[in-house]
Amino acid sequence: MFSIDFHRPHHSFNQLQKRFGNIFSLQNCWTNLVVLNGYKTVKEALVHKSEDFADRPDFPIYEHMGYGKNSEGLIIARYGHAWKELRRFTLSTLRNFGMGKKSLEERVVEEAGFLCSAIKSQEGKPFDTHVLLNNAVCNIICSIVFGDRFDYGDETFKKLSQLFQNSFNEETGFLPQLLNVVPILVRVPGVPQKVFRAQKELVDFIDGVLDKHVKSWDPAYTRDLTDVFLKEMEKGKAAEENGFHYSNLRLVATDLFVAGSETTSTTLRWALLYMLLHPEIQSKVQAEIDKVIGRERPPTMKDQASLPYTNAVIHEVQRYGDILPIGLPHLTYRDTELQGFFIPKGTTIITNLSSVLKDKTVWEKPNQFYPEHFLDAKGQFVKPEAFLPFSAGRRACLGEQLARMELFLFFTTLLQKFTFVLPEDQPRPREDSHFALTNSPHPYLLRALPR
């Protein structure tokens, strides 16, 4: 445990990989961890032996939020019937999202418009994009879960946004790790409230909004995912056994916010940072957007195929930004074997996604921002198989389609409307990251000049 720097675990794993190879084990108190490194190894485990690696370890540190046996939500649910049902339900609800008045794509396009207005109101002065990007992305999840967006100035919304930020920060460092492996400490009265105050507040907050929503529910109409879930719950005992009960509704809602907000907005913050640091790449993206879409018409997903360079830049932001460097922990579902190593059932597995996205055997310039990784000799978009920021296999990111749509629509709309520049009196922003479950950029200021 002491050989890992919990503030930058992927760096420690990369060092250990050099000494011990692509598969090595660590002892975290009395828990055995196996760390998988490099594209070949991670793919073999997650794709070729998908079910063997599909389980999740127990996370006693989240019990105070209501996670536990029979109410596990999506992200940390054990591999089994309830997880399968909830995952299938959530995926199909996201897919059929046209059920309300507007499709998900229309909502993202609309939100991109609100985001641009908010950026325009900064009048070209230096500002930090963090809050505005969070607001835009968080509103997409609000729209899915609660059927509506919030104004950026709304006090409730500001609180929600702040709680997310704080709850992510509570996840990192030595203490949460210790509490996970010595769960008895979490049960000491007052400990979770002290260590995970924001997480508790976040769930209480979501409870409050859901409660209002349930009271105003009319089964004749479907406003959002919550309503579809409530309809499932109405089906009675069988549905309840499949995981459709109120405790899971609040956890599924929480999971979508936790998994779907910070990840996407952090990626967008990296994207704008790289545009500041590489103005020539920014100009090329803008030239392509001008040529294909022009300056007025809002971008749509249909444009993606005609914007290979822009698409390559977005993919390179995800590769180089490396925002979930160690993904989420897995657990072996049965005894298994990987490249000659026996791994017993119930072993915690860490997939070092960072080592895949920067695997020297796959990427031409792994440690440089180089959009050409995603372009062929004719300038057409190509996606190398080692592009795994969303992980792979049964537990791969459930929101991948939505995230890709948001990244594409927000990024192209922003670059269509603004040129992003460094304020003259500011030092060059840092390119290294701050790790708190996600790798995020250090705070930086930019100026957004209307085009």
Pair 354, 421: CB distance under 8 Å: no
* DSSP label at residue 55: B
Q: Least distance in Å: CB of 291 to ligand HEM?
A: 27
Minimum distance of ligand HEM from residue 75's CB (angstroms): 4
For the window 84-123, what string marks contact with ligand HEM as x by the rule CB under 6 A?
Answer: ---x------------------------------------
Tokens 């995230």 locate to: 403
For β-strands 31-37 and 23-28, DSSP reports them as antiparallel
| 289 neighbors 275 (Cβ within 8 angstroms) | no
Minimum distance of ligand HEM from residue 83's CB (angstroms): 7
Q: Which residues, 196 to 235, sit near ligand HEM by CB under 6 A?
A: none
Q: How many C-beta neighbours within 10 Å does residue 121 have? A: 11
3-state secondary structure at position 94? helix
> Per DSSP, which regions of 295-389 are E strands?
330-331, 336-338, 341-343, 348-352
Choose one: 33-41, 119-127, 159-167, 320-328; the region binding ligand HEM (CB under 6 A): 320-328
Contact range with ligand HEM by CB under 6 A, out of 64-72, 280-288, 386-394, 423-431: 386-394
Residues with Cβ within 8 Å of 203's Cβ and at least 6 positions away in sequence, in order, are 65, 66, 250, 254
Shortest gap between Cβ of 393 and ligand HEM (angstroms)?
7
For helices 246-260 and 130-146, give the axis angle rounded to 10 degrees. Answer: 150
Minimum distance between the CB of residue 334 and ligand HEM, rounded to whole angstroms? 17
Identity of the residue numbered 266: T
Q: Residue 58: which of 175, 241, 182 has the closest Cα?
A: 182
| In contact, 138 and 205? CB cutoff 8 Å | no
Residues 234-293 that bind ligand HEM (CB under 6 A): 255-256, 259-260, 263-264, 267
Among 397, 405, 414, 415, the residue binding ligand HEM under the rule CB under 6 A is 397
Which one among 16, 175, 233, 396 touches ligand HEM, defined by CB under 6 A?
A: 396
Among 9, 100, 299, 327, binds ligand HEM (CB under 6 A): 327
How far is residue 203's CA from residue 211's CA, in Å, rounded to a whole number? Answer: 12
Figure out which of the listed residues 38, 308, 325, 389 binds ligand HEM, where binding follows CB under 6 A: 389
Q: Confirm whether residue 29 is marked as ligand binding.
A: no
**What's the min distance (Å) between Cβ of 194 and ligand HEM?**
28
What span, in angstroms and rounded, lies between the C-alpha atoms of 225 and 404? Answer: 20
Residues that constitute the known binding site for heme: 397
Binding interface with ligand HEM (CB under 6 A): 74-75, 87, 255-256, 259-260, 263-264, 267, 323-324, 327-328, 330, 389-391, 395-399, 402-403
Residues that constitute the known binding site: 397
